[in-house]
Amino acid sequence: MRALAIAGVALLAACSAEPDATSTQPNGALQPVSITLPAEIAALPATPAGELVTQRCTACHSADMIARQPPLTAEKWQATVTKMREAYHAPISPADEPAIVAALVTLQGAPARR
């Protein structure tokens, strides 16, 4: 907490310092900046794995959200799928979980469709 307060004071000091010539105009006005976001992954691959995950997960999540998860082990995906079913009532039968987990693992690293 104390470190945070010190960091906050340091940040305030930095903000009130001389304006940075590269980000402001001579009169001190801010200049617009732009960032480029990655293109959205609109759909999972048109493979059996992609279709299964689309069917079971995209009622609540975008394909992009599913596709951008970090590479997870089958064990971690298993925990996520079980959590989706138990905590969030995803319409998944426990008997279908192994196939869904395998599909999620298969999809990781698959080329994205944009």
Which spans of this chain sit near ligand HEC (rule: CB under 6 A)? Answer: 56-57, 59-61, 66, 69, 80-81, 83-84, 88-90, 100, 104
CB 94 within 8 A of CB 85: yes
Number of Cβ within a 10 Å radius of residue 82? 15
For residues 2 and 89, which CB has a smaller minimum distance to ligand HEC in the complex? 89
What CA–CA distance (Å, rounded) separates 102 from 31?
49
Of 57 and 112, which has the nearer Cβ to ligand HEC?
57
Give min distance, CB of 20 to ligand HEC, in A.
36
Q: Which two tokens stand for residue 37?
A: 């976001």
CB of 103 to ligand HEC, least distance (A): 9
Beta carbon nearer to ligand HEC, 19 or 55: 55
Distances (CA, A) of 57 to 27, 45, 54: 52, 14, 6
Shortest distance in whole angstroms from residue 87 CB to ligand HEC: 8
